[in-house]
């Protein structure tokens, strides 16, 4: 199954770049870069780094005795690998790196990964819902779309409730075998959960502002709420099990969907999605280089 996902991921990648070539999107992107406002890009990258600081803080809350810079390096490496590897293989780097630096069990590291992804999805969906309701109020969206959105949100909440209830039951039943994981679940009190959710909201709020600044740098004059609405569709695709090399194709398809609902043409949506995607990969690569340096330095200590 994993091999099939990798094959499909590469297939999507090659089909996507064939479309990019046919539509002359890369040439348009180069023109945008030449006329870009680099001050906006500098602020966008600075804010992007701050997002990684907040992501590291979430794990620091769960593991108070751990070194912050090491956590930052783990998040930076994990994010870049997750961005470029097909079939979501990059997700595996988080438990692997936690084990190498802190000798965490793979099961414990995997639970942290699942927990953080749950908070990411809930906060993303919450912020997207606010922008969605705004555009629905402005009569830019159809009534059928709000029904579909509500249905999907309901399914997600039901799934998460079942997952959390099952996890608590499972860990309580097998407490002696999974003591570390049991401690994580039962130490997640209401205050900690609220704190984690608040930080997750800040992460996505600042991340969308990063997107907003990149759009402004490239002369795409979207408002902050329009940015949230358009890019949310692309971010939601990151939870899909099939992920092409570099995320190309699926990310742009999400952008096209959001842009189309705001009456932006398909080709323009493709252009916008590709331009944003390239800068996000560049930003994550730069953070990866810094993170790799920190990781190697900490590993020698």
Structure token digits, residue 221: 């004059």
Given a contact cutoff of 8 angstroms between Cβ atoms, the answer to whether 288 and 77 are in contact is yes
Structure token digits, residue 106: 């793979």
User: Confidence band (pLDDT; 50, 70, 90) for 90?
Assistant: confident
Residue 46 to residue 166: CA distance in whole angstroms: 40
Buried b (16+ CB within 10 A) or exposed e, 141-156: beeeeeeebeeeeeee
Task: Check pLDDT > 80 for residue 142.
Answer: no
What is the pLDDT at residue 57?
93
What is the pLDDT at residue 74?
92
Residue 189 to residue 63: CA distance in whole angstroms: 14
Task: Check pLDDT > 70 for residue 197.
Answer: yes
The structural domains of the chain, with segments of one domain joined by +, span 2-300
Residue 290 to residue 287: CA distance in whole angstroms: 5
Tens-digit pLDDT profile for residues 23-36: 888 899 999 999 99
Tens-digit pLDDT profile for residues 264-292: 888 999 999 999 999 999 999 999 999 99
Single pTM value for the model: 0.83
Selection from 52, 45, 92 nearest residue 243 by Cα? 92
Q: How many CA atoms does the CB half-sphere of 141 hold within 13 Å? A: 22
User: Confidence band (pLDDT; 50, 70, 90) for 167?
Assistant: low
């Amino acid at each position: 199954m994993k091999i099939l996902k990798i094959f499909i991921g590469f297939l999507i990648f090659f089909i996507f770049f064939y479309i990019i070539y046919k539509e002359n999107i890369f040439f348009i992107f180069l023109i945008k870069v030449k006329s870009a406002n680099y001050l906006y890009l500098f602020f966008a990258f600075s804010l992007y780094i701050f997002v990684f600081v907040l992501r590291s803080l979430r794990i620091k809350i769960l593991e108070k005795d751990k070194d912050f810079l090491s956590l930052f390096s783990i998040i930076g490496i994990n994010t870049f690998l997750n961005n470029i590897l097909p079939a979501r293989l990059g997700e595996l780097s988080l438990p692997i790196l936690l084990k190498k630096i802190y000798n965490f069990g793979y099961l414990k590291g995997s639970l942290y990964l699942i927990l953080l992804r749950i908070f990411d999805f809930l906060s993303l969906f919450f912020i997207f819902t606010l922008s969605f309701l705004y555009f629905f109020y402005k009569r830019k969206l159809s009534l059928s779309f709000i029904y579909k959105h509500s249905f999907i949100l309901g399914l997600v909440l039901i799934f998460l409730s079942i997952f959390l209830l099952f996890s608590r039951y499972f860990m309580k039943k097998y407490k002696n075998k999974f003591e570390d994981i049991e401690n994580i679940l039962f130490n997640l009190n209401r205050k900690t959960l609220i704190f984690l959710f608040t930080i997750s909201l800040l992460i996505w709020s600042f991340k969308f502002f990063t997107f907003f600044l990149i759009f402004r740098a490239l002369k795409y004059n979207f408002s902050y709420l329009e940015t949230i609405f358009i890019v949310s569709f692309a971010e939601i695709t990151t939870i899909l099990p099939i992920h092409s090399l570099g995320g190309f194709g699926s990310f742009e398809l999400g952008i096209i969907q959001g842009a189309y609902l705001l009456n932006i043409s398909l080709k323009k949506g493709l252009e916008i999605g590709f331009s944003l995607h390239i800068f996000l990969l560049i930003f994550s690569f730069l953070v990866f280089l810094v993170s790799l340096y920190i990781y190697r330095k900490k590993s020698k200590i």
